[in-house]
Amino acid sequence: MDLRSIAAAEPFTTKDGSTIRELHHTAVQSLAEASLGPGRATQRHYHAVTEEIYLLTAGGGVLEVDGESRDVVAGDAVVIPPGAWHELVAGADGARLLCMCAPPYSHDDTYFE
């Protein structure tokens, strides 16, 4: 069994500006906790081959996916298909979320305007 703890995971900043702690990274998928401080935002981007699923675990904000914006709060989950432009702007309490990527997250698959 490969058991990992968020508390033990080393944080790093992704190309889009969020801080993540990667829990698992296999050949097929990855799982990480991402966080943004109050009022902070990811840089609008897309992934050419990676599908993402976000599950907000704390805080919230506004998530834009391909021009459609929605308020998101803890407990909300959203699928971000490959090729979909997206940006998360954290609310007053910041935002924390689990992010599952398939195939796994890669800086090389992150594209900006």
Note the pLDDT tens digit of each residue in 19-51: 999 999 999 999 999 999 999 999 999 999 999
Residue 2 above 90 pLDDT?
yes
Fold designation for 28-112: Jelly Rolls (2.60.120)
Distances, alpha carbon 106 to alpha carbons 46, 47, 103, in Å? 12, 9, 9
pLDDT at 68: 98
First to last CA, the chain: 41
**In the chain, what are the domain boundaries?**
28-112
